[in-house]
Structure 1
Amino acid sequence: MPQKLLLLASLGGPPPTLLKDLEEPLATHLGLSAVVSKAVLSRPDYAFNKDRAQYHCNAILRRLVTLLEPGQAMVLGVTDVDLFVPDSPFVFGEADREAHAAVVSTAKLRAGVSADQLRRRVQVEAVNQVGHLLGLSYCEDSRCVMFLAQSPGDIDRKQQGLCNPCRNELAKLRR
């Protein structure tokens, strides 16, 4: 079975090497090939909500979908802006299975950490969001990458990979 191709896109100013650093964990843990988009999108000002001083995920996801080219199954955007969805004070990322698009933000992940720690946090969240695109739900195992993180500490405790039940679920979804 051929691997699905994931497009990685930069929005705003995340560190340039960060997208390239996502390729290996996505291939290892989800069996996806990833390619970095040549297009670099500017800061998503169109998604800014002045009342919250944050950026609305849904508007960003709609824009990301337009980047997909034939042969690319889904897109993951990485941004440095603070994200939100209406029912939550903030999110580390968001995925829309139907649109085949996800976004991850470094905004709440970068405070007081080294470049290596930031890279690992973004890798964990990228695998989590793309896992949702593939059909996986949240997991109750706090060490599983599919666990719902509510703080950077939760992300630090998670592994980059799937627990056995989630790995089995992904195998079922691929059949």
Structure 2
Amino acid sequence: MHVDIVPVGDVPPAVKREASSGLRAVYDCNVTIHNVQEIPEGSYDSSRGQYRAEEFIELAGRIGDGDKNIAITPKDLFYRRRNYVFGLAYLDGNGSVISTYRLQTSSDGGIASKPASEVFSDRVRKEVVHEIGHTLGLEHCDNNRCVMNFSPTVREVDTKEQNLCGSCSRLVH
């Protein structure tokens, strides 16, 4: 499998590296980094002060060169009635997105004694692995340690692992 990371807006090199290493570690796939893309026109909702996640998925799917493609953006994303999303993907689709905007909260709530930069890197890896998992047909998992567990807060992202549980892993491999 080939996953193309599509940076949308100003994405730091460290974020691209973390995303790439997380994907390679879990899915043993080839990862490429696409050239930087502009924020999709018309994706900003001024009444919310946020961007529509679907527009970033559509962009990644359209311009990405991979079997699966994931947009990474520093912009704050929302989907339908949700206040915000860390990421979004359609089941079995070829495009997905993560936003680093809300993953940068300075602390993990005291779960670990890691520096903030390491906590942020862990979150980036978990979110890209999670969203690509959806594109591979995985739904949310009830195992709260599994990377496919639904985690609407950074604290829940922090408590799960970067890997698929045995059940989810068997569905992919």
Calculate the TM-score normalised by the size of structure 1.
Answer: 0.88
Q: Is the 8 A contact 2:4 2:33 kept in 1?
A: yes
Q: Is the 8 A contact 1:144 1:163 kept in 2?
A: yes
Compute the displacement of 1:26 (Å).
1.1
Match of 2:160 in 1: 158
Q: Is the 8 A contact 2:40 2:59 kept in 1?
A: no
39-48 or 104-113: bigger deviation: 39-48
2: CA distance between counterparts of 1:87 and 1:140? 23
2: CA distance between counterparts of 1:9 and 1:106? 13
- Match for 2:5: what amino acid? L
Q: Secondary structure at the match of 1:40?
A: coil
- How big is the alpha-carbon RMSD for the aligned residues of Structure 1 and Structure 2? 1.5
1:14 aligns with 2:20: no
1:43 aligns with 2:39: yes
Compute the displacement of 1:45 (Å).
5.0
Q: Is the 8 A contact 1:7 1:35 kept in 2?
A: yes
- Match for 1:43: what amino acid? I
Q: How many residues align?
A: 165
Moved over 3 A (4+): none
Query: Unpaired segments of 5 or more residues in structure 2?
Result: 108-115
- Tell me which of 58, 68, 78 is aligned to 1:62: 58
Aligned sequence identity (%):
25
1: CA distance between counterparts of 2:168 and 2:91? 17
2: CA distance between counterparts of 1:117 and 1:167? 24
Q: Is the 8 A contact 1:44 1:55 kept in 2?
A: no
CA deviation map 1:5-25 (0-9, x unaligned):
010011112222211222222
Q: Is the 8 A contact 2:61 2:96 kept in 1?
A: no
Q: Secondary structure at the match of 1:77?
A: strand
- Match for 2:157: what amino acid? I
Query: Unpaired segments of 5 or more residues in structure 1?
Result: none
CA deviation map 1:61-115 (0-9, x unaligned):
112222133xx20211110111111131111000124540010001111022422
- Match for 2:95: what amino acid? A
1: CA distance between counterparts of 2:9 and 2:104? 15
Calculate the TM-score normalised by the size of structure 2.
Answer: 0.89
Compute the displacement of 1:27 (Å).
1.7
